[in-house]
A and B are shown apart, each in its own frame.
Chain A
Amino acid sequence: MTDEKILSAAEPAAEAEQLHSQVRLPKKKRKWTGEAILALVLALIPLIGFVVFSGFPLIISLIALFCDVDLYQLGNFTWNSFEGFKVVFSDGYSVPTYGLNMAPYFYKAIGITIWVASTQLVTLLIALVISVLLATAPKGRKIFQILYFVPYICSTVAVSLMWRWFFNAETSGVLNTLLGTQIRWLEEPSFMTWCIIVAIMWQAPGYGIVMYKAALANVDKAQYEAASLDGANSWQRFWYITLPGIAPTTFFLLLSGVSAGFLTYDIAALIIPDGWTGYIGGKESMGLTLMRLVYWFIQNEQLTTSVVSAASVISWVLFAVTATLSIILFRRREKSMEG
């Protein structure tokens, strides 16, 4: 279609609009034309998918908080008198028929998860520093930008293989060769969590760098000029103009990063596997995140159905945290839109 045609079609349409509005009135009664029904169906499909594949699992996990559920039959629920809560929270309470005291694992996992999630601050700082440096338009800026994003598209599984090789226990391991040591990095409780964190820090900043690039480009340039005229040095300009200018992006990255940190599963499970000796989350559970505990409960479904209850309890704890973070983010966004 040519541009001419579009222009010629647009103008009479606007004029005809006024005429039409009077003529159309009686027609309005027949709201549900074939096209309206088609539109409704098209509009509804993603919502239906959402209700079925997100809503139902959510409802079932809500029921499973308080009931034993039959994993092989829909709708078979029996009240379990807070079994799941006892398994998760009550130290000394052992899982029925299995006799494992799970609460210490839960408390351990909370600590590890918060630890891992909090390192998102460092990830953010790396992204910020690198982005600000890139914004000074150094030589080869484009190439740096392209290279910095590569870790982000590498699969977590490949990344974990890479870091397991890096932290190899042999003297011929990469890190052991560099340091001249012979440390079993991945089996030494004091190092295990750090191995996970290093891998996250290697992979995660790429996303922040991309987001900051757009944010930095949108900071009002006139402000920098005005500040320069007033004699502000580059540090002052960064502190008083750049940082407030990119604050919404920082806030978004921080909250979504912490949120993702709380839901860490892949990288922790792959770098520090459970192991053969009955550990959950590696030696002394130093690699145990809350998500891994949920997974452990679920994959041990042959235990009792009350572990599904326990898994639901932890899922809802995690949901409470991530939902709170999104509400804060949403409120903040609305505020900045008003202001």
Chain B
Amino acid sequence: MERTENITPVQAPEQTPAEKPLTMKKKSKVPVSRIVVFAILVLYTFLLFFPLYTVVVTSFTSMMESSFTTQFVWLPKHPTFDSYVSVFTKDINAEYLGVPSLLVGFWNTLWITLLPLVVGLLVSGLSAYAYTKMKFPGKEKLFSIAFIISMIPLGAFGVISYTFYSMIGWTGTTLPLIIPGMFGSMGTVFFLKMYYEGVPDSYIEAARMDGLGSLGAFFVIVFPLAGPAFIAQFIFGFVGGYNNYLGPLLYLQGDPDYITLQLVLSQVTTLFPGEGQETVHCAAAILGMIPLIVIYAFLQKYFIEGIAVGGVKD
């Protein structure tokens, strides 16, 4: 493949003599390589969204049309919302719960995610503040110990930790999903600490001269200035909590009262049993994805930042 133009994202401002003929050519017509690049990107977009399309289109197909066919229905003849209605009305657990499982799941997911996230962020934020802007003996030593400990990758113990929670009697409750997060995380502390270091000490001193305590200075000066960092961490945590499957699966043990959204989605075949219910399953999957996608549409800049930085710290 011939790539005539610069690889650099930004065109160099100064035109060197060697490059001149190139730019002139660009003006006259679009180079072939540009078209090829564009075509590849469009193709990749298609590959990503084609599977999503099949789920969306099935969710709008009537059960009749999707059952009595030997071919996949690419475009339903009579698009219908029936499957979406069924998600809320045909749920076999709805009677027991009083509300459709999907709504119970959504509500449970919200509070199980937000409670530890908000408390944990505040705790991490204050902890990072103590490490950065407050004084106590042994601070540097404690920080380096914390740094080394938190570098240990603990993902491998995600499932075996169940034994610990079982021994302290927390399995079958929401506690293992909520309490640990409330203590904040060292990863978040490191990230916020980097951010705080950009806040001049003089700002805090000035605030304290105005009669604020050290905590007051945190809430009035540091917290607002580090807002973007908190938002990024919040979004990273929210996406992780919203999509968490293994945690609720391990610890909630099928208690329908505490079922989370992802558990509902993983159980669609038992919640909506029978032949030809796939349209309902697809509708449920779409409904489960929509909240995050809608938030993403509005806050994509923060999403991408949050997940990029959140990933690095792990």
**Could you tell me which A residues sit within 8 Å of B by CB distance?**
1, 5-6, 9-10, 13, 31-32, 35-40, 42-50, 52-54, 56-58, 60-61, 64, 69-74, 130, 132-140, 144-158, 160-163, 165-166, 168, 171-174, 176-178, 202, 207, 210-211, 214, 216-217, 219, 221, 224-225, 228-229, 231, 234-235, 237-238, 242, 252, 256, 259-260, 263, 265-266, 270, 291, 294-295, 298, 301, 308, 311-312, 315-316, 318-319, 321-323, 325-326, 330
Contact = CB atoms under 8 A, between A and B. Distances in A.
Given A40-B130, A294-B159, A150 B51 contact: no
Interface in B66-84: 66, 69-73
Contacts of B206: 1, 5-6, 9-10
B182 A49 contact: yes
Contacts of A238: 7
Given A136-B7, A149-B304, A315-B157, A228 B149 contact: no
A132 B44 CA distance: 14
A130 B159 CA distance: 35
A225 B6 CA distance: 9
B153 A322 contact: yes
Given A46-B127, A322-B156, A147 B45 contact: yes
B205 interface: yes
Contacts of A61: 157, 160-161, 163-164
B57 to A, nearest CB: 10
Interface of B: 2-12, 16, 18-19, 34, 37-38, 40-41, 44-45, 47-49, 51-52, 54-55, 58, 66, 69-73, 123-124, 126-127, 129-131, 134-137, 139, 142-143, 146, 149-169, 179-180, 182-186, 188-189, 200, 202-203, 205-207, 209-210, 214-215, 221, 239, 242-243, 245-246, 250, 261-262, 265-266, 268, 278, 281-282, 284-286, 288-289, 292-293, 296, 300, 303-304, 307-308, 311-312, 314
A13 B201 CA distance: 10
Point out which of A61, A202, A308 has the most chain B C-beta atoms below 10 A from its C-beta.
A61
Q: Is the interface of A mostly helix, strand, loop or mixed?
A: helix
Given A56-B164, A225-B12, A266-B246, A46 B183 contact: yes
A9 B203 CA distance: 8
Contacts of B303: 149, 153
Point out which of A162, A173, A294, A308 has the most chain B C-beta atoms below 10 A from its C-beta.
A162
Given A40-B130, A53-B180, A312-B160, 7 more contacts: A36-B135, A43-B130, A47-B142, A70-B167, A135-B7, A157-B288, A315-B156
A165 B3 contact: no
Nearest to A231: B18
A57 B41 contact: no
Q: Is the interface of B mostly helix, strand, loop or mixed?
A: helix
Contact of B202 (A10, A132, A134): A10
B262 A157 contact: yes
A172 B70 CA distance: 5
B159 A46 contact: no
The 9 closest A-B CB pairs, nearest first, are A49-B183, A10-B202, A39-B134, A318-B156, A57-B161, A177-B72, A53-B180, A57-B164, A9-B206
Contact of A138 (B38, B135, B202, B314): B38
B29 to A, nearest CB: 15
A43 B135 CA distance: 11
B163 A298 contact: yes
A18 B55 CA distance: 70
Contacts of A308: 163
Nearest to A126: B44
Contacts of B168: 74
B311 A256 contact: yes
Contacts of B288: 155, 157-158
A136 B5 contact: yes
Contacts of B165: 57
Given A61-B160, A136-B37, A165-B55, A211 B311 contact: yes
Nearest to A170: B70
Contacts of A256: 311, 314
A37 B293 CA distance: 44
A174 B167 contact: no
Contacts of B48: 147-148, 150-151, 202
Given A56-B164, A130-B41, A326-B151, A319 B245 contact: no
B135 A48 contact: no
A214 B304 CA distance: 11
Contact of A150 (B8, B142, B166, B296): B296
23 contacts: A32-B136, A39-B139, A43-B143, A46-B124, A49-B183, A49-B184, A61-B163, A71-B167, A73-B167, A135-B7, A135-B8, A136-B6, A155-B242, A157-B245, A157-B262, A166-B51, A172-B73, A174-B54, A202-B51, A224-B12, A256-B311, A291-B158, A319-B157
